[in-house]
Amino acid sequence: MSHFISQYWPLLLLVAWFGYKAWNSRRVRGMLPQLKTQGATLVDVRTSNEYASAHAPGTVNIPLDELGRRLSEIPRTAPVVVGCASGTRSGMAKMLLRKNGYTEVHNIGAWTKFLD
């Protein structure tokens, strides 16, 4: 068994990472109705073109590369839920928001999960 782990640890780590992302996305999606009743801001951090092609109602588009300059558009008094195409950019957005003092930030992963 230890030989298997020592040989395949990068693959196991990758599987664990994707498993965590899937679990967390499901958890946030389940919390979404409650977060909405708390006045959550739903932020889609995809590019403007991606957002224009399709987006979930009730989301605001602040592309990741503009987020640092547009923090004033996101209230600090309510939860924030971020999403993108796959969950990677929204993960970076979550870190940026937390670094800037936002205390309740959730990464839903793919923007389509705002539709559930």
| CATH numbers and ranges of domains, the chain | 2-114 (3.40.250.10)
- Report the relative pairing of strands 41-44 and 59-61 from DSSP bridges: parallel
The strand pairing partners of 43, in sequence order, are 60, 82
pLDDT of residue 13: 86
How many H-runs (helices) and E-runs (strands) does the chain carry?
A: 4, 4
Residues of the chain with pLDDT under 50: none
pLDDT of residue 107: 96
Cβ neighbours of residue 56 closer than 8 Å, sequence gap 6 or more: 42, 44, 83, 111, 112, 114, 115
Report residue 69 as tokens: 């300059």
Give the pLDDT confidence of 74-94 residue by residue, as tens digits. 999 999 999 999 999 999 999
Phi-psi region of 62 (alpha: psi -120 to 50; beta: other; left: phi over 0): beta
pLDDT of residue 6: 81
pLDDT of residue 56: 97
pLDDT of residue 92: 97
Of 57, 107, 48, which is closest to residue 80 (Cα–Cα)? 107
Q: How far apart are the first and last CA of the chain?
A: 41
Count of all residues that appear for the chain in the document: 116
